[in-house]
Amino acid sequence: MNLTLKVWRQKDANSKGKIETYPVTDISSDMSFLEMLDVLNEQLLEKGEDPVAFDHDCREGICGMCSLFINGRPHGPQNATTTCQLHMRKFKDGDTIFIEPWRAKAFPVVKDLVVDRTAFDNIIQAGGYISVSTGNARDANETPIPKEIADQAMDAASCIGCGACVAACKNASAMLFVSAKVSQLALLPQGKPEKQKRVEAMVAQMDKEGFGACTNTGACEAECPKEISITNIARMNREYFSAKLSSNNT
């Protein structure tokens, strides 16, 4: 298939970018979206031009590294799919495809389609972990956890931290991401001892990074490649209010 790509090109963080148009030909419908971009980059290299920079790593939908705002939606037109798992059969011969980076103050563009998602790492570093003493692994069933609680925690933990929620939100809010990370630990006995400290620190860091606030539009949930539910945001709010009322942190 033959396509027209409208790609955001930006030399570096300080340059002003713009949309460039590139035709690509002989694209197989079996290619993934990133393989199609590989073909474009080979063409550009052959012509001696600068290839398009884009983030990718595992290419099997689990690492959260790929991003791309494709035809007006994070990770493109297919629901519950990362860009690397999006295939060209979802497009038609002759299509024009817009490819842009995530847009958020907290995710500055590094080059072309690559954005800096350090803000997410900073939020995790603020409290998205459990402090444990090292030693031998504990016995598997030492701490009983009801199946439905384990399932809820696992659903929240399936967040890959790609930032599609921020990209989809009209306020560039990170609340779906932060709430998934707060929830996966707050639901489980291992996460409970530090849950107050965690939610306070993570929300404070989220605000510091310059993300917007949630207006409950639900766009994040609709665009999340892992279908993280906004019930997590309600849980984070509950955790936050109760922590603020009763924690010793003044």
CB of 53 to another protein, least distance (A): 17
**Cβ-based nearer residue to another protein, 174 or 188:** 174
What number of H helices and E strands is found in the chain? Answer: 8, 7
Q: Which residues contact 200 (CB under 8 A, 6 or more apart)?
A: 127, 240, 243, 244, 247, 249
**Cβ-based nearer residue to another protein, 85 or 152:** 152
**SS3 label, residue 93:** coil
CB of 148 to another protein, least distance (A): 11
**Cβ-based nearer residue to another protein, 140 or 244:** 244
CB of 153 to another protein, least distance (A): 16
**Cβ-based nearer residue to another protein, 1 or 222:** 222
CB of 24 to another protein, least distance (A): 18
> What are the residues binding another protein (CB under 8 A)?
6, 8, 19, 69, 71-73, 98, 100, 103-106, 168, 170-173, 175, 203-204, 206-207, 210-219, 222-223, 230-231, 233-241, 244, 249-250
Helices of type H across the chain: 33-46, 118-127, 147-157, 164-168, 175-186, 195-208, 219-223, 231-246
β-pair partners for 81: none
CB of 46 to another protein, least distance (A): 27
**Cβ-based nearer residue to another protein, 55 or 223:** 223
**For residue 98, what is the enclosing H or E element?**
strand 96-100
**Cβ-based nearer residue to another protein, 150 or 234:** 234
CA R_g for the chain: 20
d(CA 1, CA 195): 52
Residue at token pair 């990133």: 34
CB of 42 to another protein, least distance (A): 25
Q: Is there a contact between 219 and 172 (Cβ–Cβ < 8 Å)?
A: no
